[in-house]
Amino acid sequence: MKLIYFITILLLTTSLFSQESPTNPVNTNPSVQGSENTNQIPEPNKTPSSSKKISELGFRIMKSEYDPYIYQSNANIAQQQVNRDFNLTGNIRTIYPLYFKFIDEEKKYGVEFLFSQNALTKAHYYYIYGNDAGYGFRRRDVSDLERNDYKLNYLSYALTPFGEKLYFGAGLRKIDTNMWSGSLSGIGSEKIHTLGPQVAIKSNLRLYDSLYLNLSLEFYYTEGRRSLSWQGYDTFLEWTGSSFEEFAFLYKEYSHHNTMGVFRGSELDISFSYIFFEKYKLYFGYNYNRSNFSYKNYSDQYVTYYQFTDAINIYPQTPDSGREKIRGYYFGISAVF
């Protein structure tokens, strides 16, 4: 919450500072003042109330629901694990995206930047699995996960026949994911840092006086290197002829240095905004971000070592993929200067 207080104070300070107009020096001689007042010539082409360059700085308070690709992955479907009827638990949290926008109305272009962060902690879901031996009901814990989205757009706009602005944009999107897990039996982490292009189309429709409807649709493709570190030990039961005995084994997963993560997705944002005091904006909207995640150059090897047999086994792993969803309603505030 300290971050929110700091941002709010920053918005108010920036807006108040922008409202201060420079004052021209005035001669204290009354006779000179009178002559200046009588000799002032109006400038008909000057419109001080309308600014050609507009900047906007703000943040959102969003109730975000994040479904990582692990939840609805293709591997779950291939292994006949049905989890769509069981909601993921622990994937809803409040996030605070930050954004900045600059518009030059004279040259009809603009730039915008937005940063958001989603995270999962102690999330889990239940699923039904089935095979030749029957079916079962199990719980699966999702590794702690963090996803950071950065996006930067260059916008150019044209006026519609109704006088509304229609923006067309292109830019960059960066998606970073960090997944980690730790326990007494093992520790692991996976980091994926991707970067790629995106295109956007946006519009601001004036509904009434200071009330606007804002529409935004973006398509993106990002890819980048993936680093993996996963190792530990586990146990299993083995029939020895007269009884079951528990044996321990060590495991470690090795990944190829050229393995990459890929996101292909789209993001839809719909909001209403209201301008008050000519320097502030209030937003209420809904954001939906959906992407397909997959690997490139995947060749992981799962290696185990059994001490009781002094044997090493190597198991090639199958690449996983799936859909990611981030959605939620938000309330936003910004300062315009």
- For the chain, the structural domain boundaries read 2-16+50-336
- CB atoms under 10 Å from CB of 45, counted, come to 5
Q: Which token pair is 155?
A: 């916008």
Residue for token pair 């959605």: 327
> Under a CB-based contact definition with an 8 Å cutoff, are residues 198 and 221 in contact?
yes
Average pLDDT over residues 264-268: 98
**More confidently predicted of 87 and 81:** 87
Q: Choose among 188, 218, 222, 230: nearest CA to 293.
A: 222
Whole-number pLDDT of residue 75? 56
pLDDT at 61 over 70: yes
Whole-number pLDDT of residue 26? 42
Name the residue type at position 118.
Answer: N
Whole-number pLDDT of residue 311? 86
pLDDT at 5 over 90: no
Q: What torsion, rounded to 10 degrees, do the Cα atoms 149, 115, 95, 4 define? A: 160
Whole-number pLDDT of residue 18? 47
Which of the four pLDDT bands, split at 50, 70 and 90, describes residue 70? confident
Whole-number pLDDT of residue 197? 98
> Under a CB-based contact definition with an 8 Å cutoff, are residues 128 and 81 in contact?
yes
- CB atoms under 10 Å from CB of 262, counted, come to 20
Q: Which token pair is 51?
A: 């600014």
* pTM (two decimals): 0.79
pLDDT at 123 over 60: yes
**At 325, is the secondary structure helix, strand, or coil?**
strand
> Under a CB-based contact definition with an 8 Å cutoff, are residues 138 and 125 in contact?
no
- In DSSP notation, 239-283 reads E-SSSEEEEEEEEEEE--TT-EEEEEEEEEEEEEEEEETTTEEEE
Which of the four pLDDT bands, split at 50, 70 and 90, describes residue 31? very low
Q: Which token pair is 46?
A: 């000057």
What's the CATH architecture for 2-16+50-336? Beta Barrel (2.40)
pLDDT at 331 over 70: yes
Q: Which token pair is 301?
A: 């090897």
Average pLDDT of the chain, as a whole number = 82
Cα(2)–Cα(6) distance, rounded to whole angstroms? 6
pLDDT tens profile 210-221: 999 999 999 999
The sheet that has 124-131: what strands, in order across it? 81-82, 124-131, 134-141
Average pLDDT over residues 137-153: 91
Q: Choose among 186, 308, 184: nearest CA to 247.
A: 308
Name the residue type at position 143.
Answer: S
Of the segments 79-93, 119-133, 207-221, which one has the largest average pLDDT value? Answer: 207-221
Buried b (16+ CB within 10 A) or exposed e, 175-207: bbbebebeeeeeebebbbbbebebebebbbeee
Give strand pairing partners of 100: 57, 113
> Under a CB-based contact definition with an 8 Å cutoff, are residues 307 and 252 in contact?
no
pLDDT at 43 over 60: no
Note the maximum CA span of the chain: 117
Q: Residue 185, Cα to own-chain centre: how many angstroms?
A: 32
